[in-house]
Structure 1
């Protein structure tokens, strides 16, 4: 084989390899979030499809993230104890440890909620969609609840059976308390559903969110 032909073959191979490398999809970098504003479940309706993502406002520029690439860290500073009030018994026995991301902002912790800013007004019956917690995996139970004038109202609670469902009005977002009854790793699986004005029901794919506590 001539030197010229050999160089041509090598050059062609190098070009092909370069093209192959350029065509390879970029790999997302895993992210851990541990403080700041985050819409854990970000509901969107686009192109006839309901989708769930994660809206990260912990930095200077908001970022839409794939939940599969995010770990939500519930820092040790979130640890507190179950109040000695019967209305809070769903968190455990009075004095038991519990790790809570609060509905009022604490700059040392995640300020976590859900949002439907990307659900347009007028698309769904009652101008709202349903958000369901379908499964929880982890070392203990998880509760998501609101507190108004000292009284808790449960939104989701893996301790009394799932699925649990909340109504989310289009264009809104909501902050709430996220309580974990032990340290460790958890997965929470959510799904959204809604009835369009024309009577058609649409469902998002189930999406799993990852938390680590402690």
Structure 2
């Protein structure tokens, strides 16, 4: 009987130890949601209750969903690879001769990436606009955002010529552009959105928001 009690106490100790360890274990982070094709507003700006916020507006499904940028991985497949046009106007896409581009126009099999300030109320910010700031880029090569008209590019952001870069964006804007990556690999692109309040002149900010892009070779 004594031997059985000893065994039972030992077993109880093992169970208790396991329970304690389970209670203090670090939870495993959920894998990010991969977005690989369809409409997405990478920078979705909202202002409410005194807070300027930035989310990802995921329009790749049947219903638009706002997501935390840290919960999303944007995938750029090999079909986004292009030959960089000749001429100095295109030098921002690097010197490798190729770049990976999410295009300005909707294209099957690729993300149609843009931004949205439709949820910024009128009269809140000076000149009814906010400012997008590209503050840092971590990755194997350069990152840029640009538009093309008549075959000529207009560069909006370019990590290759120094950061930060800024762009003033009017409220109630929904726009798309080309998102360019100079090489395959994983990029972390950090934006901050700011605005000056019309009533006080004070600057409010969304804080730094990091977006991750996986560019496949």
Fold-level match, TM-score > 0.5? Answer: yes
Structure 1 segments (4+ residues) deviating >6 Å: none
Paired position in structure 1 for 2:60: 58
Return the offset for 1:149. 1.3
Aligned position for 2:179? 178
Q: Distance in 2 between matches of 1:200 and 1:178?
A: 31
Number of residue equivalences: 190
**Correspondences of 1:31-180 after superposition (within 5 Å):** 31-93=33-95, 96-180=97-181
1:118-152, Cα deviation, whole Å (9 max, x unpaired) = 11111111100001000000000001101111111
Match of 1:4 in 2: none
Determine the structure 2 residue equivalent to 1:189.
Answer: 190
CA positional deviation for 1:30: 2.3
Task: Give the secondary structure class of the aligned counterpart of 1:90.
Answer: helix
TM-score (norm 2): 0.84
Q: Judge conservation of contact 2:94–2:142 (CA < 8 Å) in 1.
A: no
Correspondence for 1:9? none
Gaps spanning 5+ residues in structure 1: where?
1-20, 22-26
Cα RMSD over matched residues?
Answer: 1.8
Unaligned segments of structure 2, at least 5 residues: 1-22, 24-28
d(CA) in 2 for partners of 1:187 and 1:174?
22
Deviation at 1:114, TM superposition (A): 1.1
Confirm or deny: 8 A CA contact 2:84 2:99 kept in the other structure.
Answer: yes
